[in-house]
Amino acid sequence: MDNCLTYALRVWKYGRKGDHLVVRRSRFGWFPHFSVLFEMSNGDLIRKEYVPIKPVNRLIPPLFFKGKEVTTTYRIEKVEDNHGR
């Protein structure tokens, strides 16, 4: 059992300069959710996060929960230069 903060800190610890710890409001309540965003050399972004398997809306979330690692890739398909008109 883990939580999104301990997971994100553990993964971010081994990141490179320019990788980011992301904090946002959780979809399941007022509390924060943490993930890590990695920028690859080709400009693609990879987000890694730990999310609950069976989330439940609660006033106070459990400190640790059974979850899974989710990886999302954002690929750059086209770069436009609007500065050299």
Residue 48: CB atoms within 10 A of its CB come to 19
Q: In this structure, is residue 81 part of a structural domain?
A: no
* pLDDT tens-place string over residues 42-73: 889 999 999 999 887 778 778 899 999 999 99
- Tell me phi and psi for residue 40, to 5 degrees: -85, 165
Confidence label for 20 from pLDDT (cuts 50, 70 and 90): very high
Q: Which domain holds residue 54?
A: 4-74
Run of H or E residues at 79: none
CA dist 38 and 19 (Å) reads: 5
Flag whether the pTM goes above 0.75.
yes
Q: In this structure, is residue 16 part of a structural domain?
A: yes
Helix (H, G, I), strand (E, B) or coil at 10: helix
Q: In this structure, is residue 83 part of a structural domain?
A: no
Number of domains in the chain: 1
Q: In this structure, is residue 82 part of a structural domain?
A: no
CA dist 11 and 19 (Å) reads: 10
pLDDT at 40 over 70: yes
Query: Which of the two residues, 18 and 4, has the higher pLDDT score?
Result: 4
Query: What residues form DSSP beta bridges with 20?
Result: 37
Residue 84's pLDDT is what? 63
Q: In this structure, is residue 56 part of a structural domain?
A: yes
